[in-house]
Homo-oligomer: A and B are copies of this chain.
């Protein structure tokens, strides 16, 4: 999975072959086919940040907790912005509203992926809710940026988006949540 992600990132979907992924992972191409199926399926698996979220989470949790959200959002947007990833993501987002499989994929991405892993890192009982809210927010950003083309979201840089959205994702994942209306939350 790491080899696939690296190669997709370096060369894009079209520029990568299963054989190259296998070579970099030091396994036989047949093995990759066996476990992941087609290149498209491998790509989907790579996009899904599945069980092996080993790369994302340490990169985000490493360093000070403050700025965690920004690092995460910058990473995610930069990843999504890659033309091939973008194409796939757009397809997934598009089909999520009508296709059961794509919907399940998005659901899992939101509540079982790195977001949950990060939220769980603070040992909170509401980790799933935190991940779901943060994930929904990022999903909305993806829709706005890639599918509906809402300005200025569509043309903001990953850094700009990270600066605005990152602190909110951080709050959702590891920060203090609002706990109700009339509590005079100290400034």
Contacts and interface: CB of A to CB of B under 8 A. Distances in A.
A118 interface: no
Contact of A153 (B98, B132, B164, B178): B132
A168 B166 contact: no
Contacts of A143: 96-97, 136, 139-140, 143
Interface in A45-92: 66-67, 70
A144 B168 CA distance: 18
Interface string A80-112: 000000000000011011100001001100110
Interface string A165-184: 11110011000011111110
Interface stretch (A9-17, A24-32, A34-42, A155-163): A155-163
Nearest to A111: B150
The range of chain A's interface size is 35 or more
Contacts of A98: 94
Contact of A180 (B107, B160, B179, B180): B160
A141 B183 CA distance: 22
Contacts of A114: none
A138 interface: yes
Contact of A137 (B140, B151, B162): B140
Contacts of A179: 163
Nearest to A164: B177
A59 B178 CA distance: 21
Given A97-B94, A98-B94, A163 B150 contact: no
A179 B97 CA distance: 34
- Minimum-distance CB pairs A-B, first 7: A140-B140, A163-B180, A136-B140, A167-B178, A136-B144, A94-B97, A139-B140
